Amino acid sequence: MTDELGKSIFERSHCPIACALDYLGDKWSLLIIRDLLLGKKRYQEIMASPERIATNILADRLKKLEAAGLVIQQAYQQKPVRYEYILTKKGEDLRPVLEALVKWGKAYFPGTTVFKSHE
Amino acid sequence: MTDELGKSIFERSHCPIACALDYLGDKWSLLIIRDLLLGKKRYQEIMASPERIATNILADRLKKLEAAGLVIQQAYQQKPVRYEYILTKKGEDLRPVLEALVKWGKAYFPGTTVFKSHE
DNA sequence: AAAGTAACTTGCACTATACAAGCTATTATT
DNA sequence: AATAATAGCTTGTATAGTGCAAGTTACTTT
């Protein structure tokens, strides 16, 4: 099975977990998805999260998440053009994964709390 | 809040997802957990998985997972001493996270399948 | 005695991440 | 009119993580 560019979409194996981790297996991607699920939309809103993501990493991850079809860019103004980042259904559908992670994290890191959705 | 060595257990923030990703946010840790959940126990069994993890990475991750309290080593023979790796409850409790990831992966990478539990 | 096996470790090249600074186009302030 | 501020980046450099190959130790099997 190949994508439109002819390269296999099964980068490491035919396991759904391995394929998912090819896109999400790092310290930042799922935190960005978390922010977007919580209602954040703009670059500076994500930058303001307490984990202090470096700006080059955020720009890189947004590009990769867009290429992976989890996120789309939407201009909210021209002159100068500025973008909001919106989850696609594919991205939204990660909500149960994040919820399971939250449950586990709260059980084993007592004292942690999820931020409230901000709108 | 600090652990027994006095360093904060909240490495990046007080978010349960961020804390979880400090331990699991890479391309390999969750795949090792997957193997152990499927019933694999020994170094070579994990090495035999189709993703072809490099041996130095596997050794490193098993050490880190043990340090994080997700896995324990158990000798299954002496002379020479050989170990099996067993999930703790903390590790077992990641099952719902993996199940959610499998569901997502199967939906968006059609053609993927999870390996059967091998015992 | 030689080869094989399990569980690693070591060395080196390559890639990813972190931190700091700089850039571009525009709006707001003095 | 000049200066500062803001959003959304890019670039450069240093450190950390990953991948591949080979080597090590302590046995067991042929």
Q: What is the pLDDT of residues A63-107, one digit of tens each?
A: 999 999 999 999 988 888 899 999 999 999 999 999 999 999 999
B33 in A contact zone (CB under 8 Å): no
pLDDT of residue A6: 42
SS3 B82: strand
Nearest residue of B to residue A108 by CA position?
B90
Mean pLDDT (chain A) is 89
Cβ atoms of A20 and B25 within 8 Å: the answer is: no
Contact A93, B97 (CB under 8 A): no
Q: Among residues A83, A37, A106, which one has the least CA distance to residue B18?
A: A106
Q: Give B 55-74 residues with CB within 8 A of chain A.
A: none
Residue A24, token pair as written in the block: 């999400």
Q: pLDDT value at position B8? A: 57
Please name the fold of domain B27-108: Arc Repressor Mutant, subunit A (1.10.10)
Average of pLDDT values for A6-25?
Answer: 82
How do the residues of chain B divide into helix, strand and coil, expressed in percent and rounded to 5?
45, 15, 40
Query: Whole-number Å distance, CA A74 to C1' C12?
Result: 44
- How many Å apart are CA B77 and CA A29, to the nearest integer? 41
Report residue B117 CA to chain centroid gap.
Answer: 16
Residue A32 or A119, more confident: A32
Q: Residue B52's pLDDT is what? A: 93
**Tens-digit pLDDT profile for chain B (119 aa)?**
545 444 456 678 899 999 999 999 999 999 999 999 999 999 999 999 999 999 999 999 999 999 999 999 999 888 888 999 999 999 999 999 999 999 999 999 988 988 766 55
